Structure 1
């Protein structure tokens, strides 16, 4: 669910690949708005059963994840903006947008979490792949201030991820630091030392 200046926007996804949107007029003078039985709009996702759906905080974009490993981005008007196959052998589970609408977290069946940056022109950039769960990720959620993300899995484990730390890490440098002693002792014939500056 998302709340715009004048409307409440509800979205739902189903196993038959249909996304339904309800746009309900929001009248501050009324205690409640009449709920429409028929959706304002329906979208058909052709790449499998929908397992995750999330609407961007500004209500303009909808992210959909399928059990077959596809991630798609739709406009609220029903236009398919972007579609990518994230995982060929493993499906996607749950989604959440960061409060500023720039990051999208995608839970996966294979226990990992993909963190994407979504540009204004719907550019999709994989920032990092988080590893920590031992089984299917069943929930992802950003904190209201966007500093943290929580995830839960079938392994009954809850993880709090500090996003500033994660996004500022130089993975190449961390990897090189971990194997530096090995590189010093290794045989040049079998190692490409120039990768880590040796």
Structure 2
């Protein structure tokens, strides 16, 4: 576990799990970081590097962790099908378990913006909705095939799910009804792996594996399903993405042992300019009334980001 500055400078090394760390999240006020590992445990860390608490109790790898928006609850989800709720002092508050037939691996967790509900995405394609205070299962609904990603909007009572067929759905968490849905433009067999909302709740980042092209990428979308751009950099599976608090930067981490810091604001501006230049490309080439120097207006504007 390492902490970095946005410019790539290493701040400090926190500590380690004996095997792979699969998930990480942090408290909204920055006072602690939680990690989940294939060693069947989660750990709470201080930003200064000290191990605060070792959260034990799962019977298999901890694949998902989440901190509530108010920082008062921590959820851990495991391949064993169990979800555990903890407080920041490391005390186990509740173990959430449905009937044994539903105990499939938990791949994604998120708290709603009001700290009332916890959503858990399972590999059987269902989303479980839990009451955080009582630990009661409120609802269960089918959201897709080979479901890997579910993320709660930070600003509204909405949930995004993304599945193994490239299907993305925006849900109203009050009614559990689909508000919007679209299919990611996978060019071959592949799947969507991780989803994250921007802090203002208006932009969605999805990590995508395209089997035919053998590429991992990040696609940015509006919540209405309009694709904004595609970011390609990593050579291995993208295991983590996160927006900065101001939404201007996106960070991604990969099994290729690299991290990438994306200037989202600049990228989207460049994409808009690229689109405009593409639209007038023939005009610049063929219009006889243009001066020669004007034909180079779009020189240097490339489509490398797409």
Q: Aligning the two structures, in what range does the TM-score lie when normalised by the shorter sequence?
A: 0.7 to 0.9
Which residue matches 1:111? 216
Q: CA RMSD in A?
A: 2.3
Contact 2:181 2:225 (8 Å CA) reproduced: no
Which residue matches 1:171? 274
Instruction: Indicate the structure whose relative CO is greater, using CA pairs within 8 Å and at least 6 residues apart.
Output: 1
Cα distance in 1, alignment partners of residues 199 and 281 from structure 2: 41
Unaligned ranges ≥5, structure 1: 25-32, 176-192
Cα distance in 1, alignment partners of residues 225 and 276 from structure 2: 25
Which of residues 127, 130, 139 in structure 2 aligns to 1:41?
139
Equivalent pairs counted in the alignment come to: 166
Asked if 1:9 corresponds to 2:117, the answer is yes
Residues 64-84 of structure 1: per-residue CA shift (max 9 Å, x gap): 111222111111021012222
Contact 1:63 1:74 (8 Å CA) reproduced: yes
Cα distance in 2, alignment partners of residues 14 and 197 from structure 1: 52
Cα distance in 2, alignment partners of residues 148 and 75 from structure 1: 27
51 and 196 in structure 1: CA distance in 2 versus 1, 3 angstrom threshold: farther
Cα distance in 1, alignment partners of residues 258 and 236 from structure 2: 9
Cα distance in 2, alignment partners of residues 194 and 146 from structure 1: 32
Structure 1 or 2: more helix by fraction: 1
Contact 1:2 1:57 (8 Å CA) reproduced: no
Contact 1:95 1:139 (8 Å CA) reproduced: no
Cα distance, 1:196 vs structure 2 = 6.8
Asked if 1:61 corresponds to 2:158, the answer is yes
Contact 2:113 2:152 (8 Å CA) reproduced: no
Unaligned ranges ≥5, structure 2: 1-109, 210-214, 286-306
40 and 162 in structure 1: CA distance in 2 versus 1, 3 angstrom threshold: same
TM-score, structure 2 normalization: 0.50
Cα distance in 1, alignment partners of residues 221 and 232 from structure 2: 15
